[in-house]
């Protein structure tokens, strides 16, 4: 078996692992990234699409902004259509001039891989059968099989579990050390990619027929989201029915129809483990928490965790100051729960307007009141915009 060692072993090359790798590299801390999949697969994986203002600041502060987000459009207005009546929310303005950026996740991942490798970074794709060892010792080890099938061992000072919800890191922590919180929002989205002109602004529509949204995917394509009755499989919906529902919910009889090129179902679930660390293994991003897409915080939480961990490791390595590492889990969990609450709050506002349960009529009124408050109270609007822009850690 081939044996090597490094300062930080990073498992997973998603937004969390790649952000951590780039931040460490900037400070001269050695790391190796081990990724299960092939490069092409990782670079094509489409998911999130927004980098909030705070994450933008992280990239600015660390000198990565030019390489990672240059040329990507900034957020302007958000259109919220209520029973077909349009309202426009100036999020960046309400947040005191803090715009987010529209950055497709696959684009950010591609740029982070390029930047890390251009700087001489060690990123190994196709690393299979990863197992973690000696987590209770001073120097934990990672054993894996490389792309050629050779078994390798990497000894590290710190391990970062950035391998997402389905990764191996979390499961390597001994039984009884973690407390798991799960929540099923009992909400589902049917997401449809179509050759339909992009909307002028990102658009969310709340209506008694259910929630719908439309976001640009380039100038000539849109991704649509439709709330579907919980427990029902919307993949059986005909194209005709899908467009009819979109027209009803968006309140737009003239919505241009285009070829549907992709269909997916997203069930809304939340998940958090506490603490986010065990000895020298630190869980980062989706490995520790999953959040609903409402508010677009999944990728942002992942990068922010990576930033908190990078700062802590750099302080420990450069100054022998371990306080950041000791506080890592508490700092990230406080922020995670803040955003879990925000995401749930946002979700109730846009979905319950289409709630047809027994107490749905009452919930619909509450959802309408919550929405109205964003436009009638500058304080409420600013609180919403502050969370959208991303609160500092
Ligand atoms: P990722 O992106 O899942 O990356 C984990 C990486 O680890 C690798 N891996 C392993 N590597 C080595 N060994 C193993 N055993 C491994 N197991 C896994 C994986 O191949 C992968 O490369 O987690 P990370 O880095 O924490 O980043 C989190 C974000 O990806 C996630 O929070 C967001 O994509 C969530 N999310 C959204 N977030 C937003 O902010 N806005 C959105 O609109 C949004 N839409 C979405 C989403 C997530 C979706 N998923 C998960 C299906 C839409 C979807 C459909």
- Residue 83: both structure tokens together: 């029973």
**CB burial of residue 107 (10 Å; 0-12, 13-18, 19+):** middle
List the beta strands (DSSP E) in the chain.
2-11, 31-34, 50-51, 78-82, 85-89, 101-102, 122-124, 128-133, 141-145, 151-161, 179-194, 203-206, 212-216, 222-228, 260-274, 277-278, 281-283, 289-290
Centroid of ligand 1 to alpha carbon of 109 (angstroms): 11
**pLDDT tens profile 266-288:** 989 999 999 999 999 999 999 99
Q: How confident is the model at residue 60 (pLDDT cuts 50, 70, 90)?
A: very high
**Three-state SS at 304:** helix
Q: Which residue's alpha carbon is at the smallest distance from atom 3 of ligand 1?
A: 164
Domains defined for the chain, CATH in brackets: 2-75+99-181+270-347 (3.50.50.60), 185-268+355-389 (3.30.9.10)
Q: Is 164's C-beta closer than 6 angstroms to any atom of ligand 1?
A: yes
Q: How confident is the model at residue 331 (pLDDT cuts 50, 70, 90)?
A: very high
**pLDDT tens profile 135-158:** 999 999 999 999 999 999 999 999
Q: Is 297's C-beta closer than 6 angstroms to any atom of ligand 1?
A: yes
Residue among 42, 170, 298, 301 whose CB has most ligand 1 atoms within 8 A, to mutate = 298
Centroid of ligand 1 to alpha carbon of 86 (angstroms): 33
Q: Which residue's alpha carbon is at the smallest distance from atom 38 of ligand 1?
A: 298
Share of the chain above pLDDT 90, in %: 89
Q: How confident is the model at residue 217 (pLDDT cuts 50, 70, 90)?
A: confident
- Residue 192: both structure tokens together: 């449809």
pTM over 0.85: yes
Q: How confident is the model at residue 369 (pLDDT cuts 50, 70, 90)?
A: very high
CA-to-CA distance for 341 and 336, rounded, in angstroms?
A: 9
Centroid of ligand 1 to alpha carbon of 200 (angstroms): 28
The C-alpha angle with vertex 163 and arms to 300 and 264, in degrees rounded to 5, equals 70
Distance of CA 94 to the CA centre of its chain: 23
Give 237's contacts (C-beta < 8 A, 6+ positions apart): 190, 228, 245
**Three-state SS at 251:** coil
Between helices 323-351 and 360-376, what is the axis angle to 10°? 110
Centroid of ligand 1 to alpha carbon of 88 (angstroms): 31
Centroid of ligand 1 to alpha carbon of 14 (angstroms): 6
């Amino acid at each position: 078996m081939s044996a090597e060692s490094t300062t930080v072993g990073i498992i997973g090359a998603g937004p969390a692992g790649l952000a951590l790798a780039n931040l460490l590299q900037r400070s001269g801390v050695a790391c190796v990234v081990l990724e299960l999949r092939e490069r092409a697969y990782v670079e094509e994986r489409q998911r999130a699409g927004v980098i909030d203002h705070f994450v933008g600041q992280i990239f600015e502060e660390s000198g990565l902004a030019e390489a990672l987000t240059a040329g990507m459009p900034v957020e302007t207005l958000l259109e919220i259509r209520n029973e077909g009546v349009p309202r426009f929310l100036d999020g960046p303005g309400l947040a005191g001039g803090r715009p987010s950026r529209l950055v497709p996740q696959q684009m950010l991942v591609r740029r982070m891989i390029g930047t890390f490798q251009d700087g001489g970074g060690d990123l190994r794709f196709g690393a299979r059968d990863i197992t973690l060892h000696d987590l209770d010792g001073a120097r934990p080890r990672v054993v894996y099989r490389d792309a050629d099938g050779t078994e390798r061992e990497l000894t590290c000072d710190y391990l970062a579990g950035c391998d997402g919800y389905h990764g191996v890191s979390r499961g390597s922590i001994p039984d009884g050390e973690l407390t798991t919180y799960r929540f099923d929002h009992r909400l589902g989205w049917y997401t449809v990619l179509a050759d339909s002109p992009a909307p002028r602004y990102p658009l969310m529509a709340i209506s008694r027929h259910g929630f719908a949204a439309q976001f640009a995917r380039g100038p000539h394509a849109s991704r649509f989201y439709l709330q579907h009755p919980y427990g029902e499989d919307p993949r059986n919906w005909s194209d005709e029915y899908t467009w009819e529902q979109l027209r009803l919910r968006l309140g737009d009889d003239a919505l241009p129809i285009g070829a549907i090129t992709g269909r997916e179902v997203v069930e809304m679930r939340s998940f958090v483990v506490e603490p986010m660390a065990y000895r020298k293994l630190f869980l980062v991003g989706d490995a520790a928490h999953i959040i609903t897409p409402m508010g677009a915080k999944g990728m942002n939480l992942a990068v922010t965790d990576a930033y908190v961990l990078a700062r802590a490791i750099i302080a420990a390595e450069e100054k022998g100051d371990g306080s950041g590492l000791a506080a890592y889990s508490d700092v990230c969990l406080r922020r995670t729960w803040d955003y879990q609450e925000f995401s749930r709050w946002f979700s109730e506002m846009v979905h319950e307007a289409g709630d047809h349960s027994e107490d749905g009529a009452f919930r619909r009124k509450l959802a309408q009141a919550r929405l109205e408050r964003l436009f009638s109270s500058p304080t409420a609007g600013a609180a919403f915009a502050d969370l959208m822009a991303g609160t500092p850690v």
